[in-house]
Amino acid sequence: MSLENLPPLREVIATHGLAPRKSLGQNFLLDLNLTGKIARQAGDLSGYDVLEIGPGPGGLTRALLAEGARKVVAIETDTRCLPALAEIGAAANGRLHVLSGDALKLDPLPHLQGPVKVVANLPYNVGTELLVRWLTPSTWPPFWESLTLMFQREVAERIVAKPGSKAYGRLAVLSQFRADPNICFELSPQAFSPPPKVTSAVVHIKALAAPRFQAEPKLLSEVVARAFNQRRKMLRASLKGVVPEIQAVLENVEIDPQRRAETLSLEEFCKLSEAVRVARRQG
Ligand code: SAM
């Protein structure tokens, strides 16, 4: 059997008894034209290992293999999906490697060879957590060259948000500090089975070779989290305790202590976190 001759996904779901489970965020994509379109947002896959989280019945997995991925490493927690994925593996001459378990606990790196792209229709309940982990590795550049991910539209908007908007927050700063995120296209609930309540969007995030501005990533993350934790407060209040003299530190980098987190640009957050670093060293 070749990839093109695999049965339609509805048939696969019926044969293997894959009734979608809400608790696992199972909203499946059954249209192979659509999964092909998503896979193509990741660019050329030949010569790349692809990490996929949550292959489910394998619609996107098939597309990634058909688009020429050297190898797909797919982590799936629902063991009911394994026989369907094994059929895809057999049709793809061993280019599919399935890891059975929780993507938050399994380390796929021993199974991947660079260069790597990540492509996934993420389970909503672990999507943001995985994204934050991929954006905050201990070394940069990260193991991935790009992330092509499906999110709820509201999360996609938070990833690409600019200062001054309601969606701007920690996710925007972390995503834009040393990567370049774009929304590729939106998908209506009807694209999925069963349809979720909200519109979804595919986001493509390309890793930059180096950060846009100098900052110590862990400290930047801490400052941004603190600032947005109380986003309606002035920075002098929301950042109280980050360093004893936060008002003076803000003034030193020419940020008015009365401003609110959502008005600060990425460059200003980086400047501020560098100033906090220096103040902590001196203190
Ligand atoms: N990729 C398939 C598609 O596009 O039709 C399924 C996408 S569905 C939104 C999310 C998938 O992630 C489900 O197959 C679900 O079982 C799986 N999943 C949920 N939580 C997971 C976890 N912690 N680790 C790995 N897979 C998970």
For ligand 1, whether the C-beta of 103 sits within 6 Å is yes
Q: Candidates 26, 51, 62, 119: which one to mutate for ligand 1, based on the most atoms within 8 Å of Cβ?
A: 26
Q: Which superfamily does 217-282 belong to?
A: rRNA adenine dimethylase, C-terminal domain (1.10.8.100)
User: Cα–Cα distance between 200 and 148 in angstroms, integer?
Assistant: 13
Q: Are strands 96-100 and 200-207 parallel, antiparallel or unpaired?
A: unpaired
Q: What is the pLDDT at residue 78?
A: 98
Question: Domain residue spans in the chain?
Answer: 3-207, 217-282
Q: What is the pLDDT at residue 77?
A: 98
Low-confidence stretches of the chain (pLDDT beneath 50): none
Q: Candidates 51, 78, 148, 151: which one to mutate for ligand 1, based on the most atoms within 8 Å of Cβ?
A: 78
Q: What is the pLDDT at residue 45?
A: 98
Q: What is the pLDDT at residue 221?
A: 96
User: Cα–Cα distance between 266 and 158 in angstroms, integer?
Assistant: 14
For ligand 1, whether the C-beta of 54 sits within 6 Å is yes
CA nearest neighbour of 64 among 123, 128, 116: 116
Q: Which parts of 77-199 are beta strand (E)?
A: 96-100, 116-121, 146-152, 179-187, 192-193
Q: What is the pLDDT at residue 245?
A: 94
Same-fold call for 3-207 versus 217-282: no
User: Cα–Cα distance between 82 and 147 in angstroms, integer?
Assistant: 24
Q: Which superfamily does 3-207 belong to?
A: Vaccinia Virus protein VP39 (3.40.50.150)
